[in-house]
Amino acid sequence: MSIEVILDRLNHVKGGNGQWRCQCPCNHKSHSQMSIKELPDGRILIHCHAGHSPGEIMESLDLALGDLFEEAIEDRIRPLYMATQEKKKLATIYDKIKSCQLRLDMAKDMRERGMVLTAADKKTERESFMLLRQLQEQTT
């Protein structure tokens, strides 16, 4: 929504160039002031100096709080959330890959030193090898 739609519904508006002051529409009996600022990305910030919330102000103007934003806040946050989740997932996969590789390196080192691997060691080595292949496929 454009700032002009909001400003047209307010009384005693003063200012310009992205910043305005006016009478808060929530309290018609007093002259409580509020500030309005339009950000470069199109968001509109409102602040009542008497303590009314942005939701109360927008409701008194018969507008929704979401009208202060060009796009829904969920649409702006969702890509960031998904990127963070993907980053966490990849970090977990890489940690598991390192763990598997460490187990395989330990088994190799034991063999090179002439040590005999126990059945449990061989099982761990085999499971690590299989898991490592699966994890590597997930990262490509």
Three-state secondary structure string covering 56-93 = HHHHHCCCCHHHHCCCCHHHHHHHHHHHHHHHHHHHHH
Domain boundary among 68, 84, 106: 68
Q: Which amino acid is at 82?
A: M
Identify whether residues 106 and 128 lie together within a single domain. yes
Query: pLDDT tens digits, residue range 81-109?
Result: 888 899 999 999 999 999 999 999 999 99
Please tell me the total count of domains within the chain. Answer: 2
Identify whether residues 112 and 86 lie together within a single domain. yes
**How far apart are the C-alpha atoms of 112 and 104, rounded to whole Å?**
12
Identify whether residues 60 and 84 lie together within a single domain. no
Identify whether residues 104 and 79 lie together within a single domain. yes
Q: Which structural domain, as residue segments, surrounds residue 80? A: 73-139
Identify whether residues 94 and 111 lie together within a single domain. yes
Residue pair 40/19 in contact by the 8 Å Cβ criterion: no
User: DSSP states of 91-129 as a string?
Assistant: HHHHHHHHHHHHHHHHHHHHHHTTPPPPHHHHHHHHHHH
- Residue 130: the pLDDT is 95
Identify whether residues 55 and 17 lie together within a single domain. yes
Instruction: State yes or no: pLDDT of 69 exceeds 80.
Output: no
Identify whether residues 79 and 132 lie together within a single domain. yes
Identify whether residues 80 and 101 lie together within a single domain. yes
Confidence of residue 125 (pLDDT cuts 50, 70, 90): very high
Query: pLDDT tens digits, residue range 7-38?
Result: 999 988 999 889 999 999 987 666 789 999 98
For helices 119-139 and 73-112, give the axis angle rounded to 10 degrees: 140
Identify whether residues 52 and 85 lie together within a single domain. no
- Residue 98: the pLDDT is 95
Instruction: State yes or no: pLDDT of 76 exceeds 70.
Output: no
Domain boundary among 68, 90, 117: 68
Residue pair 100/131 in contact by the 8 Å Cβ criterion: yes
Average pLDDT, the chain: 88
Domain boundary among 46, 68, 90: 68
Identify whether residues 78 and 135 lie together within a single domain. yes
Identify whether residues 90 and 105 lie together within a single domain. yes
Identify whether residues 62 and 108 lie together within a single domain. no
**How far apart are the C-alpha atoms of 125 and 103, rounded to whole Å?**
6
- Residue 139: the pLDDT is 80
Instruction: State yes or no: pLDDT of 72 exceeds 60.
Output: no
CA distances in angstroms from 41 to 29, 51, 82, listed in the order given = 34, 26, 22
Nearest residue to 100 (alpha-carbon basis) of 134, 140, 129: 129
